[in-house]
Chain A
Amino acid sequence: QVQLVQSGAEVKKPGASVKVSCKASGYTFTAYYMHWVRQAPGQGLEWMGWIHPNSGGTNYPQKFQGRVTMTRDTSINTAYMELSRLRSDDTAVYYCARSLTVAGGDPFDYWGQGTLVTVSS
């Protein structure tokens, strides 16, 4: 069965960086895009970008360009999301989710359990 298992909660100071991992199992890791989506406390879902594990290609929305880096290690079927220059409003639950394509009607069909990142001085 498909599983996306994320790393544990993190507490960071403003200005620091955080790196969250997402280990995939139960499917061919390189065949699906991996996305990162975050949700601030009491707020909605916000898409942060994708990486295609096969090519390493990425796409980030303008809001996160220069601050987010998505990488992957195909030898251990794991995707990573690193966010730098953290601010208090980066406090959120961060999810990984997969999709078959990034166009047409392909949805995020499996999600990780979420990783709480708290930014506080």
Chain B
Amino acid sequence: SYELTQPPSVSVSPGQTARITCSGDKLGDKYACWYQQRPGQSPILVIYQDNKRPSGIPERFSGSNSGNTATLTISGTQATDEADYYCQAWDSYTGVFGTGTRVTVL
């Protein structure tokens, strides 16, 4: 079955840039999306179709996808961005989530 791998954790200082990677076989041939999940809350969509932001998501969230790696970039990271982030893709009509990355804003 298809697998997506993320680093368990990323630390970033306020105002700096956080980059979260998501690796999967030929992931660049698929679309990737990203979800943010704060403790005790449902996930919310922050990036879809590799690099599109839903309405209401700040411009500091951006995405890219090429080769075997998709990347979520948070520019000018704020304390409110501290959360778990999951990538997701479709493989043969099956949903696949990444392993998840905890972003800590130090």
Choose among A37, A61, A95, A111 the residue that contacts B1 (Cβ–Cβ < 8 A): A61
**A97 CB contacts on chain B under 8 angstroms:** 43
Residue B61 at the chain A interface, CB threshold 8 Å = no
B93–A45 touching, CB < 8 Å: no
Instruction: Give the contacts of A19-78 with B (CB-CB under 8 A).
Output: 35, 37, 44-47, 50, 59, 61-62
- Per the CB 8 Å criterion, the residue count for chain A at the interface is 24
B94–A59 touching, CB < 8 Å: yes
**B97 CB contacts on chain A under 8 angstroms:** 37, 44-47
Give a binary string over A67-111; 1 marks a CB under 8 Å from any B CB, 0 the rest: 000000000000000000000000000010100001111111101
13 contacts between A and B (CB under 8 A): A35-B95, A37-B97, A47-B95, A50-B95, A59-B93, A59-B94, A103-B90, A104-B31, A105-B52, A107-B45, A108-B33, A112-B42, A113-B42
Residue B79 at the chain A interface, CB threshold 8 Å = no
Which A residues are closer than 8 A to B by beta carbons?
35, 37, 44-47, 50, 59, 61-62, 95, 97, 102-109, 111-114
Choose among A44, A61, A106 the residue that contacts B86 (Cβ–Cβ < 8 A): A44
Give a binary string over B13-37; 1 marks a CB under 8 Å from any A CB, 0 the rest: 0000000000000000001010101
Q: Chain B interface mostly helix, strand, loop or mixed?
A: strand
A104–B95 touching, CB < 8 Å: no
List the count of A-B residue pairs having beta carbons below 8 Å apart. 67
Shortest 3 CB-CB contacts between residues of A and residues of B:
A105-B31, A105-B49, A47-B95
Q: A106 CA to B99 CA in the complex, in Å?
A: 20
B43–A111 touching, CB < 8 Å: yes
A45–B31 touching, CB < 8 Å: no
**B48 CB contacts on chain A under 8 angstroms:** 105-107, 109
**B37 CB contacts on chain A under 8 angstroms:** 45
**Most chain A beta carbons < 10 A, residue from B90, B93, B96, B98:** B90
Residue on A nearest B47 in the bound complex, by CB: A107
Instruction: Give the contacts of B51-80 with A (CB-CB under 8 A).
Output: 52, 54
